[in-house]
Amino acid sequence: MAPTTIPGRHVDIRLWTRPETVEDQAMRQLQNISALPWAFKHVAVMPDVHFGKGATVGSVIAMRDAVSPAAVGVDIGCGMTAVRTSLRAEDLPDDLSRLRSGVERAVPVGRDQHRATAFGERDAADWDAFWRRFDELTPVVRSNVGRALHQMGTLGGGNHFIEICLDTDKQVWVMLHSGSRGIGNLLAQHHIEVAQRLAHNQSLPDPDLAVFLANTPQMAAYRHDLYWAQDYARRNRTVMLRLVCDVLRRQFPTVKFDEPISAHHNYVAEETHFGEEVLVTRKGAIRAGRGDLGIIPGSMGTGSYIVRGLGNPDSFESASHGAGRRMSRTQARKKFTEADLAAQTAGVECRKDSGVVDEIPGAYKDIDEVIDNQRDLVEVVAKLKQVVCVKG
């Protein structure tokens, strides 16, 4: 669909969804973002848009010489990784509980972490250089090096997941969603607090949108820590993917894997748009430059899409990061029961207890409609449906 443009306070707001579907809280956030004097051109709003902490989830914000740490969010570098395997539906057993249990044993979920470090040269060759950079992070997190080491290759909780999926050709895929774990959260919280104390942020319409300005020590410190955390998140997904693939190798010794697809959807990138160099913050959005492969998941009982970007300049070459929530976790827990969860995840080997009711498919927007609303941003490469879903 063509975007709808509504007037903002400093720049306009362009939405790839009907304005009346955006909750009032989210629309107020978007207006506050549009009022930032550093905002460039317009705020691009993806079809999975919903209210979020600091900035709206599903927003793409380009700024000249400024970046807002809260607009990035506390799960720096959160994103998706997927890989197609040589397995087919008929290769999988009728009872998938053993496969799910194998994944849960291999990858700690929720608050759990590895007892020993899980990464190594099978994942990347430059681990020593990466970890040496830990000592250059802001001093407030340096006592957490042990936690960061043992959380590398772990899932976390909330909407993070690991799935075994089938595409429409009955090919088996592995897909997972996670970010920079506890260390990314600590770094984000520290820099958000620093930004909120700066003098130039005292008159903003929302203190959560406090920014760092170019050519300042605070901006330099944030970007240093930010890029390290984004790298941590990417590596975290790489390690987890290898652990899950090892589970498949043990159960299916001849399995082969294609080249993985990986994409951040909470991050900052230095890019050129409309002829100017800007800092682009995608919070709940993926890069969708022409030819870029991306992943747009639905919920734990619906389906997901592998997409290829069309490079639409109006979206700052971006697309949605998922279906997007249509109700809060609290609302979902009040509205739905374990029986509802079991019904909506029928046919999926997954948790069906009260601890994940807030992740029920009914709490999310219709993924097919979300995809349809961004046909000018991405083209569909494959549609997936999960048969196993592991959540924290």
Our CA angle for 141, 142, 148, nearest 5°, is 80
Active-site annotation holds for 10: no
Return the beta strands (E) in the chain as ranges: 4-6, 12-15, 39-50, 57-63, 66-67, 79-88, 161-167, 171-178, 212-213, 261-264, 266-273, 276-283, 285-287, 293-297, 304-309, 318-320, 378-391
Our CA angle for 51, 56, 61, nearest 5°, is 170
Which token pair is 104?
A: 């849960």
Rounded to whole angstroms, how far apart are CA atoms 59 and 291?
21
Report the candidate in 159, 140, 165 with the shortest Cα–Cα distance to residue 387: 165
Which token pair is 248?
A: 């498949």
Specify binding-site residues. 75, 159-163, 177, 265-266, 297-300, 304, 321-324, 391
CB 34 within 8 A of CB 209: no
Specify binding-site residues for GMP. 159-163, 265-266, 297-300, 304, 321-324, 391
Neighbours of 4 (CB within 10 A): 14
Among 42, 150, 190, 321, the one annotated catalytic = 321
What residue type is 256 in one-letter code? K
Alpha carbons within 13 A on the beta-carbon side of 246: 13
- Phi–psi pair at 16, nearest 5 degrees: -95, 45
Report the candidate in 284, 289, 285, 270 with the shortest Cα–Cα distance to residue 319: 285
Rounded to whole angstroms, how far apart are CA atoms 265 and 58?
9
Specify binding-site residues for Mn(2+). 75, 160, 177, 265
Residue length of the chain: 392
Q: Is 20 exposed, middle or buried (0-12, 13-18, 19+ CB in 10 A)?
A: exposed
Query: What DSSP letter does each residue of 54-75 carry, written as one string?
Result: SS-EEEEEEESSEE-HHHH-SS
Alpha carbons within 13 A on the beta-carbon side of 187: 31
- Phi–psi pair at 156, nearest 5 degrees: 85, -165
Residues annotated as catalytic are 321
